């Protein structure tokens, strides 16, 4: 029997011309099958022209998620006559029978845009009461618990070979990456040039080039990045190629989570965990023991799996030192923020010259300054303090045009922004325009990740290799 295909690219476009071009690009990029959405076509577009793609590529045709519309039934039947698979939403009215659809090329799907029900197994049993070749079960994740629930369901059902399951939303992204390894018959991504067709859907190029899901195994190992909220992250684009170049198994996968303990207790084959905002200050409590540097910084960004349990380490200090290797001693540094990243900056620069620290909370700022021998600076006065080096260790600048420092007051020599963002940050752009040396967050991120790689694998990564390009 014909298979659905392991990697499906959704060509979500309002016109037949755009959808056709995206479908062909997806096939050229490595998709096994292309999904076209009838419900996303603009008024006046001819859906029959889109169905003709079934004569040149493996096609999946779907309509509205909340119920089949009267005009969609005949279109889906026509699609099947041309060789396509079709997807119908689960409902009490059994629209697939009314439309006369062939069960051998039929997907019965269920989508929940609001959350994850407590018993996915019972829901799957209801779906399987219908005759179909495949069943697609897609809840929405609000935290890592939903991702773990989907992976657990896939693991229990892996012998059946008829289930496609993952979770929507940014917290559900790990389930999309790991779906095939855990037993899903398919994983979905957006076709080239198309916007995501569902919340959390990643681009086909990212899925295939960065995460390589077809070669991933259930037994791992997995290296996780835990943070909340966790949106764009650059680390997988170089960490996963390091693993591939070293011919080591496993993948580096972002796991948005509010509680890292839930991730550590999940039973996933974790060999290492990287921590980012807001978990650096509390992560050492999850470990059996902590390094001397973690105890000095009061912050942990790395957990290493050992026989006696997790070992807490800090590679951020090393990353800051490498990023600022060209900055001389005797300079004045102003650090923005009082979290784990700021602690790494204060430790790295404290031996080079005087350090000031500015935070929004005066009490926390004073306590932080006392801990690291720095000068506390009022947040409102940060623009009037003289400095040679400015370090942004806050998350401000990840989105929008906001900057963590008054841009008209930039007057030092160097600016390091720990925020990693496509196209630079507002702070770095302003610094470069004023003739300051702007040091992007990658200058810190790559060296600290390389040290993590060595702690987790015992190998030095090929850091000279290019990153996988991200769109």
Return the CATH number at 297. Answer: 3.40.50.10860
- Entry pTM: 0.93
Same structural domain for residues 148 and 235?
Answer: no
Same structural domain for residues 167 and 259?
Answer: no
Residue 464: the pLDDT is 60
Same structural domain for residues 20 and 61?
Answer: yes
Same structural domain for residues 235 and 214?
Answer: no
Take residue 20 and report the two structure tokens written for it: 């056709």
213-271 confidence digits (pLDDT tens): 999 999 989 999 999 999 888 999 999 999 999 999 999 999 999 999 999 999 999 99
24-43 confidence digits (pLDDT tens): 999 999 999 999 999 999 99
Residue 467: the pLDDT is 43
Same structural domain for residues 356 and 306?
Answer: no
Give domain status of residue 69, yes or no: yes
Exposed e or buried b for every residue in 405-435, given b needs 16+ CB within 10 A? beeeebebbbbbbbbbbeebbbbbbbbeeee
Q: How many angstroms separate the CA atoms of 110 and 123, rounded?
A: 9
Q: For residue 151, which phi and psi values (nearest 5 degrees)?
A: -65, -40
The residues annotated with a catalytic role in the active site are 280
Same structural domain for residues 91 and 172?
Answer: yes
Task: Identify the CA nearest to 65 among candidates 112, 32, 28, 19.
Answer: 112
Give domain status of residue 39, yes or no: yes
Q: Are 76 and 108 in contact (CB under 8 A)?
A: no
Q: Are 231 and 203 in contact (CB under 8 A)?
A: no
Domain hosting residue 258, numbered range: 223-314+450-457
Same structural domain for residues 213 and 233?
Answer: no
Residue 2: the pLDDT is 82
Three-state secondary structure string covering 45-61: CCHHHHHHHHHCCCEEE
Give domain status of residue 161, yes or no: yes
Last residue of a domain, one of 169, 193, 218: 218
Residue 471: the pLDDT is 31
Same structural domain for residues 102 and 250?
Answer: no
The kind and range of the H/E element at 391 are strand 389-392
Q: Are 250 and 222 in contact (CB under 8 A)?
A: yes
Tally of CB atoms within 10 A around 316: 33
Residue with tokens 């306590």: 367
Give domain status of residue 463, yes or no: no
Same structural domain for residues 235 and 340?
Answer: no
Give domain status of residue 470, yes or no: no
Q: For residue 297, which phi and psi values (nearest 5 degrees)?
A: -80, -25
Give domain status of residue 368, yes or no: yes
User: Average pLDDT of each block of 10 consecutive residues along the chain (471 residues)?
Assistant: 91 97 98 97 94 97 91 95 96 84 96 95 96 97 97 94 97 98 98 96 97 94 96 91 96 97 96 96 96 96 95 97 96 97 96 96 97 97 96 94 96 96 94 97 96 96 55 31
Same structural domain for residues 37 and 165?
Answer: yes
Same structural domain for residues 45 and 73?
Answer: yes
Same structural domain for residues 58 and 153?
Answer: yes
């Amino acid at each position: 029997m014909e298979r659905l295909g392991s990697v499906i690219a959704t060509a979500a476009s309002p016109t037949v011309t755009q959808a056709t071009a995206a479908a062909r690009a997806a096939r050229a990029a490595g998709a096994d099958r292309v999904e076209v959405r009838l419900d996303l076509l603009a008024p006046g577009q001819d859906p029959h022209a889109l169905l003709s793609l079934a004569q040149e590529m493996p096609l999946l045709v779907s309509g509205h998620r909340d119920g089949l519309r009267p005009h969609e039934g005949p279109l889906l039947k026509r699609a099947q006559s041309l060789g396509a698979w079709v997807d119908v939403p689960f409902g009490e009215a059994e629209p697939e029978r009314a439309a006369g659809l062939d069960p051998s090329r039929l997907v019965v799907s269920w989508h929940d845009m609001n959350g994850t029900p407590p018993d996915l197994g019972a829901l799957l049993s209801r779906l399987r009461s219908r005759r179909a070749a495949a069943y697609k079960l897609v809840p929405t994740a609000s935290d890592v618990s939903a991702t773990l629930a989907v992976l657990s369901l896939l693991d229990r059902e892996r012998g059946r070979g008829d289930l496609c399951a993952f979770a929507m939303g940014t917290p559900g992204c790990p389930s999309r990456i790991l779906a095939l390894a855990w037993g899903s018959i398919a994983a979905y991504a957006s076709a080239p040039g198309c916007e995501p067709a569902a919340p959390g859907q990643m681009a086909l190029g990212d899925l295939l080039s960065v995460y390589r899901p077809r070669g991933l195994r259930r037994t791992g190992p997995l290296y996780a990045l835990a943070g909340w909220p966790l949106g764009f992250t650059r680390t997988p684009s170089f960490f996963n190629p390091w693993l591939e170049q070293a011919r080591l198994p496993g993948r580096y996968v972002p796991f948005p989570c509010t509680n890292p303990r839930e991730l550590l207790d999940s039973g996933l084959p974790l060999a290492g965990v990287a921590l980012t905002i807001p978990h650096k200050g509390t992560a050492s409590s999850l470990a059996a023991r902590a390094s001397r540097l973690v105890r000095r910084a009061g912050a942990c960004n790395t957990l290493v799996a050992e026989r006696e349990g997790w070992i807490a380490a800090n590679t951020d200090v090393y990353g800051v030192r490498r990023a600022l290797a060209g900055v001389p001693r005797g300079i004045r540094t102003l650090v923005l923020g009082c979290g784990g990243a700021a602690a790494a900056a204060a430790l790295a620069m404290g031996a080079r010259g005087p350090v000031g620290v500015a935070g929004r909370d005066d009490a926390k700022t004073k306590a932080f300054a006392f801990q690291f021998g720095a000068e506390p600076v009022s947040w409102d006065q940060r623009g009037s303090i003289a400095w040679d080096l400015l370090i942004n260790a806050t998350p401000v600048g990840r989105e929008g045009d906001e900057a963590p420092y008054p841009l008209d007051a930039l007057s030092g020599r160097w600016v390091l922004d720990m925020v990693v963002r496509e196209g630079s940050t507002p702070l770095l752009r302003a610094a470069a325009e004023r003739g300051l040396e702007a040091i992007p967050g990658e200058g810190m991120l790559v060296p600290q990740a390389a040290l993590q790689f060595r702690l987790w694998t015992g190998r030095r990564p090929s850091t000279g290799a290019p990153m996988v390009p991200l769109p």
